[in-house]
Amino acid sequence: MEKFTTVTGIAVPLDRADVDTDQIIPKQFLKRIERTGFGEFLFFDWRKEPDFILEQPFYRGASILVAQRNFGCGSSREHAPWALEDYGFRAVIAPSFADIFRTNCTKIGLLPVQLTEDEVNKLMAQLKAIPGAPVTVSLEDRIVTTPTGERFSFEIAPDVRERLLNGWDDISLTLAHEDAIAAYEGDREREGPSTGQFLTASQT
Amino acid sequence: MGKTLFQKIWDAHEVRAADASGPALLFIDLHLVHEVTSPQAFEGLRLAGRRVRRPDRTMATVDHNVPTLGRESIEDPLSKQQIETLESNCAEFGVPLFSIRSNRQGIVHVIGPELGLTQPGMTVVCGDSHTSTHGAFGALAFGIGTSEVEHVLATQTLPQGAPRTMRVNIEGTPGRGVTAKDLILGTIGQLGVSGATGYVVEYAGSAIRDLAMEGRMTVCNMSIEWGARAGMIAPDDTTFAFVEGRPAAPADFAAAVESWRALPTDADAAFDREETVDASALVPQVTWGTHPGQVAPITGRVPTPADFADPVDAEGARRALAYMGLKGGEALEDIAIDTVFLGSCTNGRLADLRAAAAVVKGRKVADGMRAMVVPGSMQVKEAAEREGLDDVFRSAGFEWRDAGCSMCLGMNPDILEPGERCASTSNRNFEGRQGAGGRTHLVSPEMAAAAAITGHLVDVRSLDVDLVEA
């Protein structure tokens, strides 16, 4: 995946809470078997609303999304982070994220940044006052710099940060511990149930 | 100090403990796969030249896209492609698949328990957020994204940061007409739509112990709807009796039960948080808004934004009311319904169909009502037909369909049109979830059946019916 170090770009204030993954990418677009091309369907229904913020010219080319709490709730569809990434977003800032969405983002190099509700509201207000203003997200320093120069620090698990900074692939990291997996399988793995009994019966 | 059910399962599955280099690596006992979130994962394996490490711990079926009428020919070319892609991936990688032609096909969270694959003490994952369903058996079960699906296919493990733990004690005897669905909707209403984010939740208390497995699955299923990483319930004799005799049940069942009896949370174990819900105070629940936390007792009224102290919640209510075509302040029972959907991984099991049929029996659906029953699996469908439930539903004016996810999320042709209003036994009332512009009210099977008969949301307890005990 692409490394994430520091990103400076236009930030979009999406002043809504509990934005679910059905809004980020509706179900009719989950039928593709490819990993790319979801960006044009991002917020598909909301983009039909008059004045929807993403459609306003100030925000063309935006790379940072700012939203309210519980962003990404609902389904586990990784298509949601794929759509955000494909549209051009590199980071999402919110007071809280749904767990599966947050994990999915970090697997593809899209940075979820958790600030306090107060900080998000301040940032949101600045972005509304100065539409199209740039924000900087530094993963190296764990700092968000707002358009007026305020600096908000954020926490992120050290191993996740390391992985994002380096663009490391999770599977390769785990396979470095293949001995440990084999040892577990040999010594401690529970007996069954094996799905193998269904292999032939199930294919018809 | 003692351990929680969660901690016991976690400890038994640690391939590596967390250290400075990263989080714990957990072994996965059962990986369930479906057609929507897996194609890119299999493609990833192919590109990297990797195999499926443990096909014997992997099980696939098709559910999200399958038509529930005329499954012999799938008209939507993209749905067809996705289903065929899973078939070819399973053949290529040696993964067992219950295909669209199998009489064992069904919603992945219905067939796992049905086959006996879901057992106490296991770790279960699937590229689907409702994987929490399997926690009803005293398993640690959670939904994952496609990158993680690929990771489990390749390594049979997942790196996991340790969650916090919460116990929700649902105490007391629920009144007549108050079901497992009402227990979980009431819990979400009380504790908030993101109240469990970051937690693994153990549901405990007398109301939970009294539930049959189907009800426990309904409760755990909706754990994700208030943000929980997973939901789980201590295994007991109810659990063991459900697993016994199923195709994948342990050969030495007595020995398995012996080990499962050690799983429940120890008396002196501590949780990061404990909450209590009074089941005896709950009445049937119905959602009025666009997330499952926007829920109220059927005896109540639709709230107005002014009812919410928190400005974010008030703004959320304002948007939800506008989307739902409600002003706020209406009696919930006055809301007219034109569609009823009975099914899904939340409420698509035989017990759910029986409960709804008891309400429907001898009655007709309201004029203009479109009502459909979509059994959670082909086995549920067959069992219901053996009991004559299909006749009960058909003669009342319901459509009787084949198994799949169907109108829970409308990836197949079963969708709401803009402005249509549905009483649904599914799990999500998000904007457009059942079809763009469609409006969803989440309810129990009994309440959905009652709405189909009367043509509006209604307190099922006010109908002259013999309700099936949960």
Q: How confident is the model at residue A204 (pLDDT cuts 50, 70, 90)?
A: very low
Q: What is the pLDDT of residues B356-400, one digit of tens each?
A: 999 999 999 999 999 999 999 999 999 999 999 999 999 999 999
User: Is B249 an 8 Å CB contact of chain A?
Assistant: yes
Pairing type for strands A151-153 and A143-145 reads antiparallel
Residues 131-160 on B with a CB inside 8 Å of A are 131, 142-148, 150-151, 154-157, 159
Which residues of chain A are within 8 Å of residue B78 when distances are taken between CB atoms?
A: 31-32
Which residues of chain B are within 8 Å of residue A195 when distances are taken between CB atoms?
A: 30, 55-59, 95-96, 117, 248
User: Is B463 an 8 Å CB contact of chain A?
Assistant: no
Output the DSSP codes for B46-88: HHHT---S-GGGEEEE--SS--SS-TTS---HHHHHHHHHHHH
Q: Residue A22: which of B182, B225, B442, B169 has the closest Cα?
A: B225
Q: How confident is the model at residue B72 (pLDDT cuts 50, 70, 90)?
A: confident
- Is the confidence at residue B51, as pLDDT, over 60? yes
Subunit contact A22:B430, Cβ cutoff 8 A: yes
How far is it, in rounded angstroms, from Cα B418 to Cα B304?
Answer: 23
Q: How confident is the model at residue B468 (pLDDT cuts 50, 70, 90)?
A: confident
- Is the confidence at residue A160, as pLDDT, over 90? yes
How far is it, in rounded angstroms, from Cα B383 to Cα B81?
Answer: 31
User: Is B436 an 8 Å CB contact of chain A?
Assistant: yes
How many angstroms away from the CA of B400 is the closest CA of chain A?
A: 24
Subunit contact A30:B436, Cβ cutoff 8 A: no
Cis peptide before B375 (omega within 30 of 0): no
Half-sphere exposure (Cβ direction) of A195: Cα atoms closer than 13 Å: 27
As given in the structure block, the two tokens for residue B346 are: 């939340």
> Is B425 in a helix, a strand, or coil?
coil
Find the closest chain B residue to A200 by CA distance.
Answer: B96
Expressed as residue numbers, the domain containing A18 is 6-189
Instruction: Please report, for the domain that includes residue A77, its CATH number.
Output: 3.20.19.10
Q: How many domains does chain A have?
A: 1
Q: What is the pLDDT of residues B233-283, one digit of tens each?
A: 999 999 999 999 999 999 999 999 999 999 999 999 999 999 999 999 999
How many angstroms away from the CA of A156 is the closest CA of chain B?
A: 12
- Is the confidence at residue A201, as pLDDT, over 90? no
Helices (H), B294-343: 311-324
As given in the structure block, the two tokens for residue A156 are: 């992120």
> Is A114 in a helix, a strand, or coil?
strand
Find the closest chain B residue to A109 by CA distance.
Answer: B147
pTM of the predicted model as reported, rounded to 2 decimal places = 0.98
Which residues of chain B are within 8 Å of residue A201 when distances are taken between CB atoms?
A: 104
Distances (CA, A) of B322 to B288, B310, B418: 11, 19, 14
- Is the confidence at residue A127, as pLDDT, over 60? yes
SS3 of A157-171: CHHHHHHHHHCCCHH
CB pairs under 8 A between A and B: 227
Q: Best of B58, B259, B312, B427 to disrupt the A interface by mutation (most A CBs within 10 Å)? A: B312
The average pLDDT across B448-456 equals 98
Neighbours of A151 (CB within 10 A): 11
Mean predicted lDDT score pLDDT of chain B: 97
The average pLDDT across B104-109 equals 97
A204 in a structural domain: no
How far is it, in rounded angstroms, from Cα B377 to Cα B350?
Answer: 9
The average pLDDT across B413-439 equals 97
> Which of B16, B313, B436 lies at the smallest CB-CB distance from A45?
B436
User: Is B79 an 8 Å CB contact of chain A?
Assistant: yes
Half-sphere exposure (Cβ direction) of A46: Cα atoms closer than 13 Å: 21
Q: How confident is the model at residue B467 (pLDDT cuts 50, 70, 90)?
A: confident
> Which of A45, A103, A203 lies at the smallest CB-CB distance from B99?
A203
Which residues of chain B are within 8 Å of residue A77 when distances are taken between CB atoms?
A: 36-37, 145
> Which of A15, A75, A195 lies at the smallest CB-CB distance from B96?
A195
> Which of A31, A73, A177 lies at the smallest CB-CB distance from B411?
A31
Which amino acid is present at B192?
G
The average pLDDT across B153-178 equals 97
Percent of chain B with pLDDT over 70: 100
A45 in a structural domain: yes
Subunit contact B227:A199, Cβ cutoff 8 A: no
Q: What is the pLDDT of residue B469?
A: 66
A196 in a structural domain: no
B344, B107 contact by CB (below 8 A): yes
How far is it, in rounded angstroms, from Cα B431 to Cα B54?
Answer: 38
Q: Residue B455 burial by CB count (10 A; 0-12/13-18/19+): exposed, middle or buried? A: middle
Residue B231's H or E segment, with its range, is strand B230-232
A194 in a structural domain: no
A136 in a structural domain: yes
> Which of B22, B81, B248 lies at the smallest CB-CB distance from A33?
B81
Higher per-residue confidence, A204 vs A86: A86
- Residues 6 or more apart from B341 whose CB is under 8 A from it? B372, B374, B406, B407, B408, B414, B422, B423, B424, B425, B426, B434, B448
- Residues 6 or more apart from B297 whose CB is under 8 A from it? B282, B283, B284, B285, B286, B332
A22 in a structural domain: yes
Residues 314-333 on B with a CB inside 8 Å of A are 315-316, 319
A203 in a structural domain: no
How many angstroms away from the CA of A128 is the closest CA of chain B?
A: 17
Residue B158's H or E segment, with its range, is strand B157-160
Q: What is the pLDDT of residue B20?
A: 86
- Residues 6 or more apart from B195 whose CB is under 8 A from it? B188, B226, B227, B293
Which amino acid is present at B180?
A
- Is the confidence at residue A203, as pLDDT, over 70? no
Q: What is the pLDDT of residue B470?
A: 56
Q: What is the pLDDT of residue B31?
A: 98
Classify residue B264 by its DSSP letter. Answer: S
What ipTM goes with this model? 0.97
Q: Residue B189: which of B91, B303, B78 has the closest Cα?
A: B303
Q: What is the pLDDT of residue B45?
A: 98
Q: What is the pLDDT of residues B189-236, one digit of tens each?
A: 999 999 999 999 999 999 999 999 999 999 999 999 999 999 999 999
Residue A182's H or E segment, with its range, is helix A178-187
Find the closest chain B residue to A179 by CA distance.
Answer: B15
How many angstroms away from the CA of B283 is the closest CA of chain A?
A: 25
A50 in a structural domain: yes
B122, B140 contact by CB (below 8 A): yes
Q: Best of A16, A19, A27, A172 to disrupt the B interface by mutation (most B CBs within 10 Å)? A: A27
Percent of chain B with pLDDT over 90: 97
Distances (CA, A) of B79 to B6, B65, B76, B372, B374: 37, 6, 5, 21, 18
> Is A37 in a helix, a strand, or coil?
coil
How many angstroms away from the CA of B467 is the closest CA of chain A?
A: 32
